[in-house]
Amino acid sequence: MKEIQLELEGLNCANCAAKIEKLSNEIPGVESVNLDFVSKKFKINLDDENKAKEITGEIKDIVQKLEPHVKVIDKEEAYNHQHDHSHHHGKVDKTQVVKLIIGGLLFVAPFLLKLEGYTRLSVYGLAYGIVGYEVIIIAIKNVMAGMAFDENFLMTLATIGAIAIGEYPEAVAVMLFYQVGEMFQGIAVNHSRNSISSLLDIRPDSANLLKDNEIIAINPKKVHVGDTIIVRPGEKIPLDGKVIEGESLLDTSNITGESVPRKVEVGEMVFSGVVNIHGLLKIEVQKEFGESTVSKILDLVENASSKKAPTENFITRFARYYTPIVVFIALGILLLPPLFLGEDIRQWAYRASIFLVISCPCALVISVPLGFFGGIGGASKSGILVKGGNYLEALNDADTFVFDKTGTVTKGVFKVTEVIPYGDHTEEEILEIGAYGESFSNHPIGKSIQEAYGKDVNKEYIKSYKEIPGKGIEVVLSEENIYLGNKSLLEDKDITVKEADSIGTVVYIGKENTHIGTIIVSDELKDGVAEDMKRLRSLGIKKLVMLSGDNESTAKKVGQLIGLDEVYGDLLPQDKVAKLEEIMEKSQGKTIFVGDGVNDAPVLTRADIGISMGALGSDAAIEASDIVIMTDEIGKIAMGIKIGRNTKKIVVQNIVLALGLKTIVLILGAMGLATMWEAVFADVGVSIIAILNSIRALKVEV
């Protein structure tokens, strides 16, 4: 299946976006479409990739007919357009301003000059034509396209109704103030978009390519794996790579939200989007631009608004039925009182026109997606990548958190914390025997014993080596049989085991038929993890559970230390999925699984929401989960919940504000207590207030 990706520059009307999406979806050869109003990204899936050029042309024609000022940009042009034309975003159309000024002057002229008769009618007619021409033409086109119920149709119908009953000033005023409101609404939408864009401004403008001892500034997309780039102090690193010369401190706050600089030296990996603070770095590129960390993060955040939250989907459906219903109510207001009660039709026509002006659901349709996108942007700046508004909203309903152990609540770094010798043996001897026994092992526990020994191992002394699955290792060392592993391994050899009661993985060591020592290998808890669990409880989380592949006794000791409700150990990946499903059945709200994103993919996928401890540059984590914590900190989960709740609160405020004020003015209009002026405010004024309120979702409270 072929996918076309376009960008609709200048698209500031959510209803217009819905119209373009609907008509594009009806083009033969189009499988599905997704037009994201917030990011202006338009994705079209085709049945036949050979029709791509033809269908793109048809879509451009649709956009041109419905929204002539909107520019359709192909994906290939989007990067350059974003950088070369970003200063045009949010600028006001000067021609539109001139038209509104002329229309405004003509509107007040009859009052100031006290014009009467045909002269007065002509001036109002000219003013109406200047400010309303575009609205009327678009309304006619939409009606012909079978999409009548939009703001252009409503304003045209309302103003024609006002003209029909002789309310010429009101007709011009509605069209004039509607156009002014639309202009300010466009400015407000662009302002909120730019607030989010500037917050996520981590994409580098250029890369300094070192070629033939010359430095050339080029588009990062043209740099390839193996090329060498130079990053000067104060510049953003444009692509993921390895430092081959120089050392510096890096400001990673763009990606992780952490203010503490990170030191890098020769041989270390660095990631795109972070800022080089003071040293000159020479970097060998390891990933193409499209695969670099900065591109993956931005694509993830920009595409997040295409995964709509339930509230957003409800409002979209609600708006689809709300406008036609109000139009038919307006028709009833126009016809029923004059027909059945003998009332003056002019009076009820005026009230019906007020109804039509108010009915446009722009405030709802625009502000809800902007609110969720603002929350996603604020979370991203804090090092929390949320893949969709649906996941951000779902955090509001979380009541059970299930954690993996290694790499999630612990650091995933194994260290020898205790060596217990028996008989005449010393700690040094036990550690040496352990290092020799584990010398062929790639397991983190074996490696930690080798690191603790810290000396070279002469493998000539090892006569044979055998791994026993699920139990340990059996070696012949200098003609002596050595056993390293769990209790059952030594018991199989008829060796009496002296059990150790310690937190960590216990490696029992036997020689011939005697237990000669024990090595305790512990995985250190992450800093402040117990406090992080308390913070989750304070946010109303009812149950905290841990699933671990480690032995049950070790897992339960860790669970006690950090204050968990339930702990399950000795679990294989498939066991974790089964146990998670049991927990989900008992949970009254959403069940969230938190893992390291690499080994826990099946469980992350099965949970209502999968949160992975991503770590900077971890591709596996970004792919596996719904939310990624870029700093591996459990504490960021509580912050994510707060962001989700704050975003939902703002979205609900917008819905209540828009529906509340519209309902009040609708009732007042039907009773004859509201004029066109209040109706215009209830439409465009409320939209602007709701849009500006949505920007508050960007603010993140720690």
Residues forming the active site = 404
Distance of alpha carbon 14 from alpha carbon 9, whole angstroms: 13
Pairing status of strand 269-270 against strand 214-218: unpaired
Closest residue by Cα to residue 390 from 313, 296, 300, 302 = 313
Q: What share of the chain is helix, strand, coil (3-state, %, to 5)?
A: 55, 20, 25
Are 109 and 115 in contact by the 8 Å Cβ rule? The answer is: yes
Helix (H) or strand (E) run with residue 625 in it: none
Distance of alpha carbon 410 from alpha carbon 546, whole angstroms: 12
Are 495 and 398 in contact by the 8 Å Cβ rule? The answer is: no
Are 402 and 545 in contact by the 8 Å Cβ rule? The answer is: yes
Are 241 and 270 in contact by the 8 Å Cβ rule? The answer is: yes
Name the DSSP letter for residue 684: I
Please name the residue ranges forming H helices in 438-497.
Answer: 444-453, 487-492
Instruction: Give one DSSP letter per residue of 543-585, joined into a string.
Output: EEEEE-SS-HHHHHHHHHHHT-SEEE-S--HHHHHHHHHHHHH
Q: Give CA 397 to chain center in angstroms.
A: 18
Distance of alpha carbon 195 from alpha carbon 590, whole angstroms: 31
**Cβ count within 10 A of residue 588:** 10
Closest residue by Cα to residue 138 from 121, 151, 122, 120 = 151
Secondary structure (3-state) at 484: strand
Instruction: Give one DSSP letter per residue of 21-90, joined into a string.
Output: HHHHHTSTTEEEEEEETTTTEEEEEES-GGGHHHHHHHHHHHHHHH-TTPEEEEHHHHHHHHHHSGGGTT
Residue partners of 701: CB distance under 8 A and separation at least 6: 642, 646
**Angle subtended at Cα 583 by Cα 582 and Cα 587, rounded to the nearest 5 degrees:** 125
Residue partners of 185: CB distance under 8 A and separation at least 6: 12, 362, 366, 684, 687, 688, 691
**Cβ count within 10 A of residue 95:** 9
For residue 66, the one-letter residue type is: L
**Angle subtended at Cα 493 by Cα 491 and Cα 495, rounded to the nearest 5 degrees:** 60
Query: Roughly how many angstroms between the first and final C-alpha of the chain, as a whole number?
Result: 44
Q: Among all chains, which residue has been given the structure tokens 């974003």? A: 82
